[in-house]
Amino acid sequence: MSIEITEALISHIATLARLGLSESEIAEIQGHFEKVLHYVEALDKLDTESVDPSIFTNDAINMLEQDSPHAPLGQELALKNGPEVDEDSFLVPRIIAEAGNEAGGGKASP
C-alpha cells in the first residue's frame, strides 16, 4: 500500500500517541517512517488471505484463577512514585471547568 508520509501525518500520529515532538523531530521521524514502510513492504509479497493471525504463541485462552481475596498493593505504595500526589490521590490539571471559566489552567487539582 502506497502512503505519502507528510509532516501532517506524523503530527497526527504524534497527537494520537500523546507524544510531544519538536519540528526537527517531526522531520527526522518523517524520514524514518519512509524507510520503515519501504522495509516492511516486503510482506506484501506474501499471500496471507487464508492465514489466521497469530497474536500470542501460547494459544491458551481463558486463564482462570481462584476467586479468593488477597491483599492489594495499598494506597501508600501505589502513590509513592506519583510526581504530584496528595494523601489519597494522583493530582492532574483541572479537567472540569468552574461555571464561567474554561477547563484547563488549574494547576494540579484532584
Binding site for another protein (CB under 8 A): 1, 3, 10, 13-22, 25, 28-29, 32-33, 35-36, 39-40, 42-44, 46, 48, 51-58, 60, 63, 65, 73, 77-78, 80-84, 90-93, 95, 103-105
CA 88, distance to chain mean position in Å, is: 25
Q: Which of 13, 38, 10 is nearest to 25 (CA)?
A: 10
Tell me how far apart the 2 most distant CA atoms of the chain are, in Å: 59
Closest CA to 30 of 13, 16, 10: 10
Minimum distance of another protein from residue 84's CB (angstroms)? 6
CB of 69: closest distance to another protein in angstroms?
A: 14
Q: Smallest gap, in angstroms, from Cβ of residue 99 to another protein?
A: 18
